[in-house]
Amino acid sequence: MAALGSRALAKDNTELPKYRVVTSYKAAEHPGMPGRYPGQVVAVHADGSIQTGTDKVDVPTVREMISNGMRTLTADKDARDSWARFFAPSDVVGIKVNCSGAPNIMSTPEIVGEIVRNLTALGIKPAQIWIYERFPDQLDSVHYDRYVPAGVHIVAMEMSRRSIAAYDPKTYVEVDFFGEDDTRSNMIRLVSEQFTKIINVPNMKDHGAAGVTGCLKNIAYGDFSNVARSHHAAKTNTLSFIGTLASVEPLRSKTVLQIMDGLRGVWQGGPFLRDMRYRFYPKQMMFGTDPVAIDRQLIPIIEDERKRQGAISVFERTTDKTKFGSGQYIREPGHIEFASKLGLGVYDPSKIARKDIKL
């Protein structure tokens, strides 16, 4: 599987778009990605975390999963000490959720609520915490407000689709993919101007263009405007665009923690979930600071479920019709390896230190 990704990467490197990154922000001495723990992943599995029949989430189990994951990542005995390694009471924290498949799959509100509880336990005021996503219809369907204290901001960037009011006009990536009229993708203004730290909370999903969508795609496509233009006909530029966006400062430096929500997953048709047959239940979470290393662990989770269901590999470079429908794009799961070449993390499985916990 890794060899397939490498061949795809080598093939497309000769056809990369020409990117122009515009930002006035400098990298931190130790950027948040790959962060404090490069090449390290903690995976916590709990059968009791969610009921597959009712979709009911068990909050005490989720709390224990997060506590164990954070303590194992940082080697602290007390989870509060683990959180304090990343956050201080003065921080303004953005929590980048993923709601593109809501209400059937999204960053689980019980998980987000537990993240907020740990932040406020450090003395971070609710008004200093922002749960954010790009589109209001997706975000509103989840009702995060029912799971967090009053005062926590829950905001969508595009109150009307393609509105650029919430984006920073001075921080952007310019690239002409297909001769489109608008060739700029601007960073969310809250990210560039207000947040001091960001927590990335993606799902475990396949993706029709990127192959899989995890930490990298959620933090990249989720923090910039005008990103859907990277796909046209069978061609997708996700191979290089995802890593390029994730590398832009100050997004790269501010994104200090990755908590991948794998209570539910999508093995086909992602990032959306229009057919419930394509949902499955990994019942796990992954913790780290390295988005590449975590996404590298995501690949076999999606691949194994697709194989079990009789679907083609995400590395198959085809749009041929299958029993699950025809693909629209040539998938680019090589975007994870590409991002490693930009310094965002560790891709080589032999260099990734993974710790597994089963509750």
- Kindly report, residue by residue over 41-90, the tens digit of the pLDDT: 999 999 999 999 899 999 999 999 999 999 999 999 999 999 999 999 99
Mean pLDDT calculated for residue range 273-297: 96
For the cut 80, the answer to whether the pLDDT of residue 137 exceeds it is yes
pTM: 0.94
Mean pLDDT calculated for residue range 133-141: 95
For the cut 70, the answer to whether the pLDDT of residue 4 exceeds it is no
Mean pLDDT calculated for residue range 316-333: 78
Give the mean pLDDT of the chain.
93
C-alpha closest to that of 276 among 284, 285, 264: 264
Instruction: Answer yes or no: are the C-beta atoms of 247 and 255 closer than 8 Å.
Output: no
For the cut 60, the answer to whether the pLDDT of residue 3 exceeds it is no
pLDDT digits (tens, 9 = 90+) for 20-30: 999 999 999 99
Lowest mean pLDDT of 95-99, 234-238, 301-305, name the range: 234-238
b/e map 327-341, b = 16+ CB within 10 Å? bebbbbbbbbbbbbe
Give dist(CA 311, CA 145) in Å, integer.
37
For domain 2-358, the CATH architecture is 3-Layer(aba) Sandwich (3.40)
For the cut 80, the answer to whether the pLDDT of residue 12 exceeds it is no
More confident residue, 129 or 270: 129
For the cut 50, the answer to whether the pLDDT of residue 8 exceeds it is no
Mean pLDDT calculated for residue range 9-37: 85
CA distances from residue 266 to 80, 124, 192, 203, 278 in whole angstroms, order as listed: 32, 34, 31, 9, 6
Q: DSSP letter string over 180-246?
A: -S--EEEEEHHHHHT-SEEEEE-EEEEETTTEEESHHHHHHHTTBSS-GGGEETTEE-HHHHHHHHH
For the cut 50, the answer to whether the pLDDT of residue 14 exceeds it is yes
Lowest mean pLDDT of 65-79, 120-134, 180-194, 223-237, name the range: 223-237
Instruction: Answer yes or no: are the C-beta atoms of 145 and 153 closer than 8 Å.
Output: no
Give dist(CA 349, CA 337) in Å, integer.
11
For the cut 50, the answer to whether the pLDDT of residue 2 exceeds it is no
CB atoms within 10 A of CB 315: 19
Which residue in the block uniquely carries the two structure tokens 């992943």? 41
Mean pLDDT calculated for residue range 190-196: 98
Q: DSSP letter string over 48-84?
A: GGB-TTT--B-HHHHHHHHHHHHHHHHT-SSHHHHHH
Give dist(CA 359, CA 353) in Å, integer.
20
